[in-house]
Amino acid sequence: MKLIVDTCTFLWLASAEQKLSANARTLLQDSGNILLLSAASVWEIGVKHALGRLPLPHDLTPAEFVPEARSRNGVDTLPITEIDTLALAKLPDLHQDPFDRMLICQAIANQAVIVTPDPLIARYPISVHW
């Protein structure tokens, strides 16, 4: 199964696994699943870190933290495509977060599940697990 890890899910997987639900932990540890981190999540990490709202472990920069955490946890990158961005206009206006809206478009385009605790994402016609 293709799993898009939400930004908070990725951060918890990388640094504070106790915040993951038991179901999320099981899904993320299943070697049969493909774990994907969207470029939108990497962008979100960079923006929030630059604004001082997201400290990273050991004072790492996003450019140091993200690739290392991805590699350590077996997470692949998911680029943003033109198809993903054009699908934004078709989404109902249920969630205002632009990063999460992109994850939703990518889940639709890639027939993937989003692993997130965010109840607003679950309101879209996609598969969400937590």
Tell me the domains of the chain and their CATH numbers: 2-129 (3.40.50.1010)
- Work out the average pLDDT over 64-75: 97
| Spatial contact of 123 and 95, defined as CB atoms under 8 Å apart | yes
Contacts of 51 (CB under 8 A, 6+ apart): none
Using DSSP, state whether 128 is helix, strand or coil.
Answer: strand
pTM for the predicted model, two decimal places = 0.94
Residues 6-24: what's their mean pLDDT? Answer: 93
Instruction: Give the pLDDT of residue 110.
Output: 95
User: Which pLDDT does position 95 carry in this prediction?
Assistant: 78
SS3 readout for 79-105? CCCHHHHHHHHHCCCCCCCHHHHHHHH
The model's pLDDT over 55-68, given as tens digits with 9 standing for 90+, comes to: 999 999 999 999 99
Residues 111, 65: Cα–Cα separation, whole Å: 28
Cα(36)–Cα(75) distance, rounded to whole angstroms? Answer: 5
State the amino acid at position 79 in one-letter form. Answer: P
Strands 128-129 and 34-38: unpaired
- Cα separation of 125 and 111, whole Å? 11
Q: 118 falls in which pLDDT band (50, 70, 90)?
A: very high
